Amino acid sequence: MPLSKGHKEKTRTTILTSAADLFREHGFDGVGINDIMAKAGLTRGGFYAHFKSKADLFANVLNMEPAFNRMLAERQTGSREAAQNGALDVLATYLDPDNINYVTATCPMVSLARDVDKAGPPGRVALSKVITDLIALFKNGMAGANAQQLDARALSILALSIGGVTMARTADNPALAAKILNACESQAQRLLTE
């Protein structure tokens, strides 16, 4: 008897979640398909019903964060002012020192970027889509300037955010981490609202 679409989607989500945890913990090269399927409570034979390769799975992990995708969809509709307020909320949440562990564990730009080259073209394409979506999110909230200037400001915001989290998570004390994140948020807000 064929499996229902709901069952197949649930199985796919289980594999993605298991893979995301293992890729973050061990890196792309440190995890095999057998490891991923065992963590998911499934046999290796079912893997290829959902993904073409480990690189394909990695690319899907980069694009799987449902909260991120929902947030992007919500923030890219409405007025420029609403988009700007949404982008400011995203920055405040992302760069909040109290959220550093959550961001480190869930943001593909922080937790998985180091392995993109190892995953090859599918990983680069997936991460490029995340970058492009974030640039659009920030640009929708900006006023004035030409498209090239908006792109530069949006890229700067993205670099400040990801770089800030990356630096803060390696800081040896919470006060220094908070200082880094607060400085990055201040500069990113300025770029967004100028």
**pLDDT tens column, 132-147:** 888 888 888 888 778 8
Query: Which pTM was predicted?
Result: 0.78
Taking a C-beta distance cutoff of 8 angstroms, is the pair 178, 97 a contact? yes
Handedness of CA 26, 28, 30, 31 (dihedral sign): positive
Question: E-assigned strands of the chain?
Answer: none
Supply 187's token pair.
């500069």
pLDDT of residue 74: 63
For position 65, what pLDDT does the model report? 60
38-43-49 Cα angle (round to 5): 120
Do 97 and 168 touch, CB atoms closer than 8 A?
A: yes
Distance CA 145, CA 166 (A): 30
Q: For position 71, what pLDDT does the model report? A: 60
Residue 184's pLDDT is: 97
pLDDT, tens digit (0-9, with 9 covering 90-100), for 87-117: 888 899 999 999 888 888 878 888 888 888 8
Predicted local confidence at residue 112, as pLDDT: 84
Report H helices in 27-99.
33-40, 54-62, 66-75, 80-94
Stretches where the chain sits below pLDDT 50 are 1
The count of other CB atoms within 10 Å of the CB of residue 149 is 11
pLDDT at 136: 86
Tally of CB atoms within 10 A around 145: 13
> What does the alpha-carbon distance between residue 194 and residue 9 come to, in Å, rounded to a whole number?
44
